[in-house]
Amino acid sequence: MRILVLSDIHGNLHALEAVLLAAGDVDAVWNLGDIVGYGAFPNEVIERMRPLADLTVRGNHDRVCCGLSSSQGFNPVASAAAEWTRRHLRSDNMQWLRDLPMGPLRSGDRTMVAHGSPIHEDHYVVTMRDAWSPLQQMPCDITFFGHTHVQGGFSLLEHEWNELRPVFHDRHEAESMTIDVPVGTRHLINPGSVGQPRDMDWRASFAIYDSATETITFCRVPYDVAGAQAAIRAVGLPERLASRLSDGR
Ligand code: ZN
């Protein structure tokens, strides 16, 4: 099985279309949440993903935008975006967001999916220290997670701990990097953010998990970032949400 794993689309339809095109034919799609918030196309992105994704877990922005959680704790820009999104969501899409399950969810014999940490959906896994306890406690070999908007992850092989950060060379091209995830190793894998990368690379991020070869491929793909920025400005969302997209942070 070739599985497209994506996260943190954040209403960026331009980035999502580029990712779906670059991923090509896949056997399944796993969506790690934060489908809306920040971008100008919340309805369009939900309607594109609803029939495609075999598994979806909710993100913190999904919860706030559909009214399940308050925006307390969000910075002013994120709050303004959540408020705008809530006003523009169609009622059926709002209900779909409200019904999304909380992670982690088991997705296969070796795998599960979560928005944040597998220990708590809102926890950020940024450092090895954050990864330490989930890597040991999780009931399967691989957890795919998002929330940080940083592609990469952490691995544990017996007593050897590693941080995974794909290294790429040309930010104008599509690039990919494949790692082995053999049985007997444990991995926390972040496919990165489709719609608002924050790892200093503006290209849309995703990952492909191949369960036959036991490999994961980290991918970056250029997209029409000017189009996404123009749409954000046209609907009156905060300027920072447009400018940060081309900086990748
Ligand atoms: Zn997010």
Ligand 1 midpoint to CA 160 (Å) = 29
Instruction: Please give the helix or strand (H or E) that residue 156 lies within, else none.
Output: strand 152-157
CATH of domain 2-247: 3.60.21.10
Ligand 1 midpoint to CA 56 (Å) = 14
Ligand 1 midpoint to CA 61 (Å) = 7
> Poorest-confidence range of 62-66, 107-111, 156-160, 179-183?
156-160
pLDDT tens digit string along 44-68?
Answer: 999 999 999 999 999 999 999 999 9
Task: Report the C-alpha gap between 96 and 121 in whole angstroms.
Answer: 18
Residue 158 has pLDDT above 90, yes or no: no
Residue 174: per-residue pLDDT: 98
Higher pLDDT, 98 or 73: 98
Average pLDDT taken over every residue of the chain: 97
Residue 139 has pLDDT above 90, yes or no: yes
pLDDT, average across residues 22-41: 98
pLDDT tens digit string along 162-175?
Answer: 999 999 999 999 99
Ligand 1 midpoint to CA 120 (Å) = 15
Q: At what angle do helices 91-98 and 42-49 cross, to 10 degrees?
A: 60
Residue 159 has pLDDT above 90, yes or no: no
Q: Do 179 and 164 contact (CB within 8 A), yes or no?
A: yes
Ligand 1 midpoint to CA 148 (Å) = 7
Domain spans in the chain, listed from the N-terminal domain onward: 2-247
State whether residue 38 is helix, strand or coil: coil
Ligand 1 midpoint to CA 12 (Å) = 12
Residues of the chain with pLDDT > 70: what percent?
A: 100
pLDDT, average across residues 64-75: 95
pLDDT tens digit string along 176-218?
Answer: 999 999 998 999 999 999 999 999 999 999 999 999 999 999 9
Q: Which of 96, 139, 140, 146 is nearest to 121 (CA)?
A: 146
The confidence band for 77, taking pLDDT boundaries of 50, 70 and 90, is very high
Ligand 1 midpoint to CA 60 (Å) = 7
The confidence band for 75, taking pLDDT boundaries of 50, 70 and 90, is very high
Ligand 1 midpoint to CA 37 (Å) = 8
The confidence band for 1, taking pLDDT boundaries of 50, 70 and 90, is very high
Q: At what angle do helices 13-23 and 42-49 cross, to 10 degrees?
A: 20
